[in-house]
Structure 1
Amino acid sequence: MALHAYLRRVIREGDLTVRLPGGEAIVLGDGTGMAIRAIITSRRWLARIAANPSMALGEAYMEGGLVLESGTIHDLIDLAGRNARYRPLKRAGALQRWWLDRRLQANARRQARANVAHHYDLSVDLYRRFLDVDLQYSCAYFPHPAASLEEAQVAKKRHLTAKLLLARGQRVLDIGCGWGGLALSLAEAAQVNVDGVTLSTEQLNLARARAEAAGLSDRARFSLTDYRDVAGPYDRIVSVGMFEHVGRPNYQTYFDQVARLLADDGVAVIHSIGRADGPAFTQPWIAKYIFPGGYIPALSEVLPCVERAGLIVTDVEILRLHYAETLAAWRARFQARREEIAALYDERFCRMWEFYLSCSEMAFRHRGHFVFQLQLAKRIDTVPITRDYIGEAEARLATPARRVAAA
């Protein structure tokens, strides 16, 4: 059977047994590590997994067609990740790339709104159960291995604030502001005026409520606005965890807009997931069930657009395993509140998110994903010529201050 040959070719380490319909068992790996036992429950699911494993494996787990008898879905996905080097990375050819760009990545305004609603308009009660108190739904920054998720998310905001070189009274644009945590922190800590834009009505409503509760609604304003429709200028621009939703065909439009909105002496910081191994394509199951329209870029796809927009890269930082640790913390919190989440949604939803969180963590641990922070300017002398100012600003910002309301 083709599935037997494929599995034996790509699973060479670890201890995995897959029991097939009819009772046959395939023993895979070299017998080391945790024993994982998986059952494929029907010939229908066996055929689907054999025909399209990148899509059907996640679907089978969601629908009960793949059952773990020993170990968890995270253990299985981690095992697959540790064997990733035996599975060649798929790259899209020119024709396939054109079709993917046209069909999945175009992200025109109406489609972009629908894509955002698919994921971010889920109930905030879901996100409260596994995120930190500030509802930061992006990579945290762990200053030391023992840092808690809350500490690491505060450190992330502090790190971004330092790179923005903020001054009192400046106008700041937050593209993809989420539930408003970063915008509110900037408005409070740096005494700046922040406009946050989002395409999620759920995020917008909570961000506005938080600003009102914190007494910051005069300096932190939020709107349901596509980044392409924002009017400037702004002294500072920040975008965290939004660029992954822009779509590859829109990269030039995005950076042209950043350049148009940014003051001549302005600074922008773009924080996004990236991939270390060059252009590829979005994992099909993730594209269908979690992030429609999403794409993780290689820097080789991003930097030419930055250059053509007339922007200067004044700093690049690569955060390698920080997102893996962030996802591990989210996954642990999700599991701890799983019964509550199942009551909010259902068992199928919980299995879908378990698969999503585990796959995402594996991508950062084993498949070359990282986070990049690009600091951009229009003038070569806009930021200091050494990076010492970042640590100095973080130390100042670490002074205890009033917390912004989380709800």
Structure 2
Amino acid sequence: MIEDFRLPDLGEGLPEAELVSWLVAEGDEVTLNQTIAEVETAKAVVELPSPYAGVVRTLHAAAGDVVAVGAVLISFDLGGEDAPAAPTDETAGEKAPPNLVGYGAAPRAAGRPQRRARGAASARPSSADTAVLEAAPHDAIRFQESVEEVLERPRSTPPVRKLAKDLGIDLVLVAPSGVTGLITRADVLGYAERVGAAPEPATAPAPMLTSTERTTRIPIRGVRKHTAEAMVRSAFTAPHVTTFLTCDVTATSELVASLKADRSLEGHRIGIMAIAAKAVCLALTRHPGLNSSWDEAHGEIVEHHYVNLGIAAATGRGLVVPNIRDADAMTLVELADAIAALAETARAGKTAPAEMMGGTFSITNVGVFGVDAGTPILNPGEAGILALGAVRRQPWEYRGEIALRDVMTLALSFDHRLVDGEQGSRFMVDVANILREPGRAMLLR
């Protein structure tokens, strides 16, 4: 019996998704919930689990293709009426779609799925680098196992595969550290350290369409397309106002240094971003207009009594702004850990769509690029976004004298429908005062 699997709506209401890669091939045997493909929506890379147990009959798209929601993506040969399939809706008598939103297929303790052997004569390399094999203890075992094991395709994300390619590492030689069998960035870097792999010289991405030798045309899709649409919608819907304030953050720099030296906090990366995030959460409690939304449909202003703090993250796929839920209820250490986890997930392209929805205020750190200030565009639906500039050591007036101090410029953009100039300015001063004297946070409530 042949069953078709159509690309489902991945929970974002988007009409299409790009097929990043297949993790199975025609003729492969798959199990229920085995990850079969990775697709990129306008917001994230999502793993698709198989809704059936059977044999892959036909792949209806190739990597790089844009597939419409509802189009047939893959066909399975179930081998008979009684073959295991996806759970059914007893009331409607129809197959219920698998849960595809967020993290993809369920973890499997048994390790990575086996792949069918193709070309057994060429399964084992004609020669192998001895140092590489010694660096990965599992490799010696693999070369003694069956051809199917050797040809098993390692599971990883596109950014991890790119990292391995840049380092000249064959992912077959890298052991996954987790129970799901997914090779992570840490696994690749750990392996590279053992074998002394070095990155290859960076090269420009291969052009997808070239009209002449002097120009390259690249289709606008995925995160880049979504970001562009969101920014245009925000810029022409919310009347933006941006205000700037340069402040002395020497005391915050000293606090960061002391926290880094504290052995009890080893493993927690508490930097100026985390302290700024805490300052923003504290200041928002005193200035609720900056933590509100404009509800055009109902003619209402919605003030949020919680802070879902968006953190802008630049990735190879474009800008994403996942948010930290209930950031206002977190301690400084918890905020720092949440920011670090959020950034790593974003860089790996594994941010779930739900994590980029429902934000109430955002922060973007342009200082990491050496930029002093900018005019950030609001994340749609939010009243404010704060940009942190680079920390500069420069002459500054301090206690009536000129001294070398750490100085930072803050830039706040806000929706003038929700926030007037006075409210925006007072919020900025509150944030700056905390960064100028972190102890002042003890006075806020």
The two structures have a TM-score, normalised by structure 1, of 0.30
Larger Rg: 2
User: Relative contact order: is structure 1 or structure 2 higher (C-alpha 8 Å, sep ≥ 6)?
Assistant: 1
The two structures have a TM-score, normalised by structure 2, of 0.28
Structure with greater helix share of residues: 1
